[in-house]
Chains A and B, each alone.
Chain A
Amino acid sequence: MGGEVPEPRRLSRALSFGCGGVPEEALHLVFGYMDDPRDREAASLVCRLWHRIDALSRKHVTVGFCYAVEPARLLARFPRLESLALKGRPRAAMYGLIPEDFGAYAAPWVAELAAPLDCLKALHLRRMTVTDEDIAVLVRARGHMLQVLKLDKCSGFSTDALCLVARSCRSLRTLFLEECIIEDEGSEWLHELAVNNSVLVTLNFYMTELKVEPADLELLAKNCKSLISLKMGDCDLSDLIGFFQTSKALQEFAGGAFFEVGEYTKYEKVIFPPRLCFLGGLTFMGKNEMPVIFPYSTMLKKLDLQFTFLTTEDHCQLIAKCPNLSVLEVRNVIGDRGLEVVAATCKKLRRLRIERGDDDPGQEEQGGVSQIGLTAVAVGCRELEYIAAYVSDITNGALESIGTFCKNLYDFRLVLLDKQKKITDLPLDNGVRALLRNCVKLRRFAFYLRPGGLSDVGLGYIGLYSGNIQYMLLGNVGESDNGLIQFATGCTNLRKLELRGCCFSERALAVAVLQMPSLRYIWVQGYRASRTGQDLMLMARPYWNIEFAPPIPESAYRVMADGQPCVDTHAQVLAYYSLAGRRPDCPQWLVTLHPASL
């Protein structure tokens, strides 16, 4: 009798411990430290409990393509989101290659999610079609809670919607409208923002063509002591003197213009705020206006000179005074000589973007950027994480130098311009191999050449050494279908692929898609297209949408987002994983390929 009593107690304790394992509260805490979406994804597959805890504790989701999932499904899966990012039109829309009526409407998302997502504070839409009504729905549902609104390269709305945002979203800290196409119904929206908001930190309507009143900017600076970043359109810099005097905390400024070129006396009174470390815009700034920023040059960490009137020599003179630059954006008028100055001066440079100009006045005779400048920068700026360059000439050696010296490179994009007939060193097979083998941190890679720029062997190297690259854009690469197959065989981690101007057949594209296990999105233009896209059906599989834009006769008229004619009539293929099935809002010119349609 006495011996039996201890046994029941032991059993009781074991049972009580066995009922749940780690408490739910503890799991919540652990999940809170998991930030990487892929780690989250893996953890949610462990068991139902972990799946539910992930769902309840997930704060941010990025939907890489707005047609990949339905809004209702996202809501059911992650009901407590605080931040949501959505991407719409293919990236090619930035270059005028996607017609405006492609779709990517924000309406279904706003209608479905704005009200039910009780915790939503931040919304980021990129390359989507957003209407005034969409913004009205959003404001009515979340106006009081919204802290971050980013409309990035969106189109379809007007300043009337911005007025509504300004009046109703008093907690807004970030309003980001960069490169949006906005119907300008007047500048009242900025006045409303200045009057109603007192916590704004970032305001960005850079490259939007919106006109504003300097007095409203001064009012904004007076009421929002926290304003750190302002990026705006072209407004004469002499009209911003009052704003600069008022905004003591400002660290980033982009925009403004020097409309009265040649009259330096007008601009010498411009005094930037004392903490300024980012300058951009400065449209039409030339040699005579450059001294305006000399007093701040040693403090500058970011400099954007894409819209200036500087010659190669001017670039050399200015950059030699900026030893602390982390970010530099220029046009190729900087030339190789300018890049040599960058290499000698900017030892902390992390991001470098060299855009393509257009026969700039003041560009040196040989013009543009080549392997000389790239090599100098690779050797001199070894902290570089991002390089995007339009070059006139290139060699394998330059790419090898980048591989040798830029170990931290995370994002590399190269475009070989087509004006110069003779390129020093093609194909670039060995150079690209060296770069990819050595830059092991690379996640994004773009390589846009010309026919003959990369052989099938080189394309095979890209696949073989793709490592952890998740996004690629390849233009005019390879010689045959075999090259594409070799490439695809090596790409184990590639998730998103864009191809342009290549010679591959539909069959090869289909085979390649099936060979890349991580691929979830592919956009192709300039391939050996058939009239109906029938061989693309070879890539059909569950949850895989295939959309085909047939070649367009020259007579057809289509417009881009900003009203200009679509410059491109070549066939396009867009294929992607989707839980939502076929798009309900396909435009007439887009054919959805489906096994049932055979």
Chain B
Amino acid sequence: MDLLERNIKTETEETRKEQERKEEEAEAEAEAGERKTQEPPQQGQGLSLSLANGSGRSGMLPMSNVSANPSQLTIFYGGSVCVYDSVPPEKAQAIMLIAAAAAAAAATKSSAAPTVKPPMVPAATVAPAAVVSPVLTRSPSLQSTSVATGQPQVVAEPSSICKLQADLPIARRHSLQRFLEKRRDRVVSKAPYSTAKSSDGMESPRIEVTAEGKAQ
């Protein structure tokens, strides 16, 4: 019975998330206006909340025996606050990862299309209490900060590799170095070479054809 209840609760959470996202996409402004109040507009949500609370309380005793150390999960999304009891840490982490990925995707979208208003960034945190405080409203910035932090880390690797290679570069003989410099000057300044270069460009399709011929 407990296992069944947990599965039901998980499905309920997922369903609720999807509904909330769809509602937001369909009626962004209206939904935002409506959800400025903390009262749920639909009876269904009310029912699900109460059910969750009830099942949570009934499940507390067996969960403590398993020693999974469950806690409350509070989700701020679309102007509403949702509180879940007895959420295992693993599931909470998974939910937060999904939210972070969604946030990153949203950030990418916003960067791709700056004119479009970015949607609200979901913020998922494991809170010991259901109290709503101003500090929690800063979670979105923390999320974006962590995302931003991730990007430099990715960039850092190639730069460090380049630095290592630059430490002791493979040196080049003076005479060849001078020729390559003269060649660069010549490429930049001389029109005839650009003509030759374009002819080289025309030639490259032939090379490809030859290569294909060899391949065949």
Contact = CB atoms under 8 A, between A and B. Distances in A.
Given A261-B190, A448-B170, A309 B176 contact: no
B172 A95 contact: yes
Interface in A444-490: 448, 475-476
B15 interface: no
Contact of A97 (B171, B179, B190, B199): B171
A503 B168 CA distance: 12
Contacts of A525: 168
A358 interface: yes
A56 interface: no
B168 A526 contact: yes
A309 B194 CA distance: 12
B192 A96 contact: no
A179 B175 contact: yes
Contact of A286 (B167, B182, B196): B196
A250 to B, nearest CB: 23
A567 B199 CA distance: 37
By DSSP majority rule, is chain A's interface helix, strand, loop, or mixed? Answer: loop
B196 A288 contact: yes
B196 A95 contact: no
A44 to B, nearest CB: 38
Nearest to B208: A365
A364 interface: yes
B12 to A, nearest CB: 49
Interface string B162-183: 0001011111111111111011
Interface residues of A, number: 45
Contact of B186 (A262, A284, A356, A562): A284
B168 A570 contact: yes
B200 A356 contact: no
Interface in A522-572: 525-526, 562, 567-568, 570
Contact of A361 (B177, B178, B187): B187
A476 B164 CA distance: 12
Contact of A283 (B168, B174, B179, B200): B179
A260 interface: yes
A262 B196 contact: yes
A309 B199 CA distance: 13
Interface string B87-107: 000000000000000000000
A526 B200 CA distance: 41
A60 interface: no
Contacts of A361: 187, 197, 200
Given A261-B190, A361-B187, A309 B196 contact: yes
Contacts of B173: 94-95, 355
B169 A567 contact: yes
A576 interface: no
A263 B191 CA distance: 12
Interface string B120-153: 0000000000000000000000000000000000
Contact of A311 (B165, B180, B182, B203): B203
B195 interface: yes
B203 A313 contact: yes
- Residue picked from B177, B182, B183, B186, most chain A C-beta under 10 Å: B183
A287 interface: yes
B215 interface: no
A96 B200 contact: no
A419 to B, nearest CB: 9
B159 to A, nearest CB: 14
A567 B168 CA distance: 9
Given A96-B174, A356-B170, A418-B165, A307 B192 contact: no
Contacts of A355: 173, 176
A562 B200 contact: no
Contacts of B197: 361
Contacts of A476: 168
Contact of B174 (A286, A501, A526, A562): A562
A174 interface: no
A357 interface: yes
Interface in A108-147: none
A174 to B, nearest CB: 20
Given A361-B200, A526-B168, A306 B174 contact: no
Nearest to B173: A94
B165 A356 contact: no
Interface string A259-284: 01111000000000000000000011
14 contacts: A92-B171, A94-B174, A96-B174, A179-B175, A262-B196, A287-B199, A288-B196, A306-B176, A311-B200, A313-B203, A331-B176, A358-B180, A501-B168, A568-B168
- Of all A-B residue pairs in the complex, the 8 with the closest CB atoms, nearest first, are A95-B171, A262-B192, A207-B175, A501-B168, A261-B192, A526-B168, A358-B180, A307-B179
Given A306-B176, A313-B203, 9 more contacts: A92-B171, A94-B173, A96-B174, A96-B177, A209-B178, A356-B172, A417-B170, A570-B167, A570-B168
Interface of A: 92, 94-97, 179, 207, 209, 260-263, 283-284, 286-288, 306-307, 309, 311-313, 331, 355-358, 361-362, 364, 415, 417-418, 448, 475-476, 500-501, 525-526, 562, 567-568, 570
